Amino acid sequence: QVQLQESGPGLVKPSETLSLTCTVSGGSISSYYWSWIRQPPGKGLEWIGYIYYSGSTNYNPSLKSRVTISVDTSKNQFSLKLSSVTAADTAVYYCARIDGYGDDLRYYYYMDVWGKGTTVTVSS
């Protein structure tokens, strides 16, 4: 049973860089896409971006200029960096696995395994 666990500082100062890591256990990081999603207090879910195990990435256009997602296959981990944070970046941050299936004509994707989430507060 694959499990994901987010880790990182719970408090980040404004203008600094938020850094989180997601550790994958019970399975390999290979052959999947891995994603970050966040949820501000009392609000809905926002997709941040994903990385394929080989290293290719895709980001939410609204966050693209500040986001970097990387992967370390030797440690079965992937990481999120969000620069120049403000109070608006305060949220619960989730990591998730993107699985999929299909054929040459059509492929379907879904986030089937999620971490429990970690709360990050941006405050001085």
Partner 1 sequence: DIQMTQSPSSLSASVGDRVTITCQASQDISNYLNWYQQKPGKAPKLLIYDASNLETGVPSRFSGSGSGTDFTFTISSLQPEDIATYYCQQYDNLLLFTFGPGTKVDIK
CA 82 to CA 19: how far, in whole Å? 7
Q: Least separation, in Å, of the C-beta of 105 and partner 1?
A: 11
Q: Measured from the CB atom, is 16 or 46 closer to partner 1? A: 46
Q: Does 46 bind partner 1 (CB under 8 A)?
A: yes
Of 105-124, which residues contact partner 1 (CB under 8 A)?
106, 108-112, 114-117
CA 16 to CA 66: how far, in whole Å? 11
Which residues would be at the binding site for partner 1 (CB under 8 A)?
Answer: 35, 37, 44-47, 50, 58, 60-61, 94, 106, 108-112, 114-117
